[in-house]
Amino acid sequence: MKISVAEQAGFCFGVNRALKLINEYHRQGKKIQTFGPLIHNVPVLNDLAAKGIGRADSLADIGRDRTLCIRTHGIPRDIERRLKRRGIPTLDATCPLVKKGQKIIERLGRGGHPVLIVGDKDHPEIVAARSYARQVKIINSLAAARALPRSREISVVAQTTLDTAFFKQVVAILMDKAEKLHVFNTVCQATQERQEAVRRLAPRVDAVIVVGSRISSNTKKLFQIARASNRNSMRIETCDDLRRTRTVARLKQFKSIGITAGASTSPQELDNVKKFLQKL
């Protein structure tokens, strides 16, 4: 069986940076908690918990002597203000590319016309991003784009992990919706590279395995892209998901398998999957 790993897969710059920041802080003997899960990766979160790096899911959970690590997705502005008012020290691991999007939304919001975000309204990145302007509308489907009323001016940005092909389709619809359309392609480079890599890989192999958390937005998009050109695409969280007898029997039928992984999947997990397949 031939195994091919996508040219770009796994940990992105933002995730590597967040892990480096929190681990260095912890090594200095300082007490720290993350605000929500630092990244969408259960083994990594378990590893942090084993080191004594706890997690606060609300302001009430924050320990008195703890620094709070802001995760890669960022936090809403009102939470940021409340943390400042309460004098809670923070270590900001918000990805700089997420921050860039927040700054664009803030600037556009000052222009007085609505800002459109294409993304998932419940995703933590978007929950934080929408707090940067008053008039924000979030859409996540072509139908929602078509249903928008005509406006004089529309500005549109994207969730960093959006499928770029989908963003282009939305923008094409918006061309007929406004006299002036300002487009900011805020899909991050790591996402674009991983999407392009799986677009190239999926049609060349018999099956594709996409490794990443079930709640990871970018993993979900990679799976959708793989599935669009390869019906034998499967999504797993860890290598253990492949060990079931029926799955092993299915995998053995393929002559070539491609592997890709979401931006919060570690190189070790990717390697585990590769080694497991090589032994079949």
The binding site for ligand SF4 (CB under 6 A) comprises 12-15, 72, 95, 97-98, 160-161, 188, 190-191, 218, 263
> Residue 205 Cβ, how far from ligand SF4 at the closest point, in Å?
24
> Residue 39 Cβ, how far from ligand SF4 at the closest point, in Å?
8
Residue nearest to ligand SF4 according to CB distances in the complex? 14
Q: Which residue has the tokens 């929190």?
A: 22
Q: Choose the catalytic residue: 125, 196, 237, 269.
A: 125
> Residue 70 Cβ, how far from ligand SF4 at the closest point, in Å?
12
Is residue 125 flagged as an active site residue? Answer: yes
Q: Which residue has the tokens 């707090």?
A: 131
Distance CA 78, CA 55 (A): 20
CB atoms within 10 A of CB 177: 16
12: number of CA atoms within 13 Å, CB side? 27
Taking the least distance from each CB to ligand SF4, the nearer of 92 and 206 is 92
Antiparallel, parallel or unpaired: β 32-35 and 233-236: unpaired
Distance CA 131, CA 134 (A): 7
SS3 194: helix
| Cα torsion through 32, 36, 189, 240, rounded to 10 | 100
Of 56, 5, 20, 54, the C-alpha closest to 35 is 56
> Residue 239 Cβ, how far from ligand SF4 at the closest point, in Å?
22
Taking the least distance from each CB to ligand SF4, the nearer of 65 and 122 is 122
Taking the least distance from each CB to ligand SF4, the nearer of 41 and 232 is 41
- The answer to whether residues 121 and 97 touch, using CB atoms and an 8 Å cutoff, is no
Taking the least distance from each CB to ligand SF4, the nearer of 117 and 178 is 117
Q: Which active-site residues does the annotation give? A: 125
